[in-house]
Amino acid sequence: MTDLGAVLATLKKERDKLNLAIAALSSSTGSSSGSGRRKLSAEARERIAAAQRKRWAMFKKKKAR
């Protein structure tokens, strides 16, 4: 039978390497959770809304034909 202590030591070393890699990747993205939302200015929201209204108008116009 294999030496379970050696296997456990090897797994712990691998776990430490993975934890370091995860920490490095998490810090490079700026936030670990990724659940932050962007804040749009009122002007940006209005531009987006106007573009969507235009798309809906074109869709409804084509559908009415």
- Give the model confidence (pLDDT) of 8-24 as tens digits: 999 999 999 999 999 88
For residue 42, the model assigns a pLDDT of 95
- 34 pLDDT exceeds 90? no
pTM of the model: 0.42
CB-based contact 26:32 (threshold 8 Å): yes
Average pLDDT in the chain: 87
Residue ranges of the domains in the chain? 4-28+41-64
For residue 29, the model assigns a pLDDT of 66
- 41 pLDDT exceeds 60? yes
Q: Summarize the confidence of residues 22-43 as an average pLDDT.
A: 77
